[in-house]
Structure 1
Amino acid sequence: MALEHLPEDSYLTLKRESEGVYKEKGSKFLAFAFPIKDENDIREHLEQLRKNYYDARHHCYAYILGKNQDLYRANDDGEPNHSAGDPILGQIRSNGLTNVMIVVVRYFGGTKLGVSGLINAYKTAAAEAIANNEIITAILHDKVKIDFEYLNMNEVMKLIKEYDLQILEQHFDNQCQLVVEVRQKHLEEITLKISDLNRVKIHIL
């Protein structure tokens, strides 16, 4: 789906983890692509790859986070400046992806590739990892808490059903509480409908 046709509360990302491989003059470039949610995911994936491929010379990577692709980084990990991280980042950008990280692990084969050779190798390995995955449209949600009296149960549950909201937490007593996921584009509409109900309150978490 082209970026201009995406709903405003959605973005393109990768469906799952995937791998790609590129070989050049004895050097091997192993690419690993991950869908990510935050910077904790980034640290965990890097630590795991550094444990699994501890004998590799370089672990170069790039990532983009956020609906507007506003948080990003490219890391050359000892390769010449802009020869590794930027080509990886370029592949994420050219596919219009966000909340994605790609790490390329290099095993040096004894022959230097030169900057242009490195740029091509890291770009190709990253592209291979994306090609072996599936690009999906993900929807942005907000978590909200709904407080209501038991007498309002039917009205509240009717809204839950109407908007097909996912219930994350629930507590039913005389005073009831639900934590639900609301698609961002429906948030204002649902908030207005709930505020029209007596003794029902909504809080965005």
Structure 2
Amino acid sequence: MTPRYPSTIAVRVNHELVIKKSRFIAHVSPVASPAEADAVIAQVKQRAWDARHHCSAQVTGDFGDRARSSDDGEPSGTAGMPILEVLRRRGLTDVVAVVTRYFGGIKLGAGGLVRAYSSAVSEALDLAMIVDRRLLVAATVAVDHADAGRFDNLLREWVRRHGATLADPVYDAKAEFEVWLPPSEVPMLSAELASVSSGAVRAVVSGAERLVGVPRPAPPRG
């Protein structure tokens, strides 16, 4: 069974929430590592140096197996963990969320802080483009040079219909095409190649794998 990988976001999003005169400014960014997440947090702190708090959470790793959070001076458990829980509930990884708070002079209490930090990040993510990630495997298709054009067209159409990608062909003793496709689609590719070539052409799976991001379609409006 192919494992399900957490999603991520395409680009940084910002969102501001005002509650009882306090400003909660959420910055949510895609990152590739904990070091990159820490750099984003440092940049936010430097840019908004006059704010009282910069609470944060980050999740990284292919399966979201690395996570950290910080209350940054807020009462323990009222900021960092609630932010982290939003990221977890959304099924995200390789992402960092920083919420900058400008205190408005009215205390919100522990419950109010949890709701404020959670809502700021949740509303920011509602604006984000979600990128689903799929594991693809590599398969090589080798054909005679005389047939390269026909199979180039066939494979380009096939990958468009099956959530796959096609690398540029390599011309050696034969023309070789590298197809990156979901493991479940390998039998379908093999069957189609066999059908159009009377069994002479087949897909050879190399064992190479990579995660590929696919932007999730936006939900219809109205």
**Shorter-chain TM-score range:** 0.5 to 0.7
Contact 2:143 / 2:201 at 8 angstroms: preserved in 1? Answer: no
Give the match for residue 22 of structure 1.
17
User: Are residue 58 (structure 1) and residue 53 (structure 2) matched?
Assistant: yes
Contact 1:19 / 1:128 at 8 angstroms: preserved in 2? Answer: no
Task: Find the residue that maps to 1:73 and give its secondary structure.
Answer: strand
Residues in 2 aligned to 1:53 and 1:170: alpha-carbon distance in whole angstroms: 49
Give the match for residue 92 of structure 2.
98
CA RMSD of aligned residues (A): 4.0
Distance 1:105 1:142, change over 3 A: same
Task: Find the residue that maps to 2:181 and give its secondary structure.
Answer: strand
Give the match for residue 31 of structure 1.
26
Give the match for residue 103 of structure 2.
108
Q: Which runs of 5+ in 2 are unaligned?
A: 194-198, 210-222
Q: Which runs of 5+ in 1 are unaligned?
A: 1-6
Residues in 2 aligned to 1:30 and 1:172: alpha-carbon distance in whole angstroms: 53
Contact 1:149 / 1:199 at 8 angstroms: preserved in 2? Answer: no
Give the match for residue 140 of structure 1.
134
Alignment map for 1:61-80 (pairs within 5 Å)? 61-65=56-60, 68-80=63-75
TM-score where L is the length of structure 1: 0.67
**TM superposition shift of 1:88:** 0.9
Select the residue among 119, 123, 126 that pairs with 1:124: 119
Give the match for residue 182 of structure 1.
181
Residues in 2 aligned to 1:145 and 1:40: alpha-carbon distance in whole angstroms: 34
**TM superposition shift of 1:24:** 3.6
**TM superposition shift of 1:36:** 4.4
Task: Find the residue that maps to 2:140 and give its secondary structure.
Answer: strand
Residues in 1 aligned to 2:189 and 2:40: alpha-carbon distance in whole angstroms: 37
TM-score where L is the length of structure 2: 0.63
Give the match for residue 166 of structure 1.
165
Q: Percent same amino acid at aligned positions? A: 26
Task: Find the residue that maps to 1:146 and give its secondary structure.
Answer: strand
Distance 1:200 1:186, change over 3 A: closer
Task: Find the residue that maps to 1:126 and give its secondary structure.
Answer: helix
Contact 2:139 / 2:203 at 8 angstroms: preserved in 1? Answer: no
Distance 1:24 1:139, change over 3 A: closer
**TM superposition shift of 1:85:** 1.1
Structure with bigger RCO (C-alpha 8 Å, 6+ apart): 1
Task: Find the residue that maps to 2:16 and give its secondary structure.
Answer: strand
176-185 or 25-34: bigger deviation = 176-185
Select the residue among 20, 40, 44 that pairs with 1:45: 40
Alignment map for 1:142-157 (pairs within 5 Å)? 142=136, 144=138, 146=140, 148=142, 151=145, 153=148, 157=152
75-84 or 10-19: bigger deviation = 10-19
> 2:159 is aligned with what amino acid?
Y
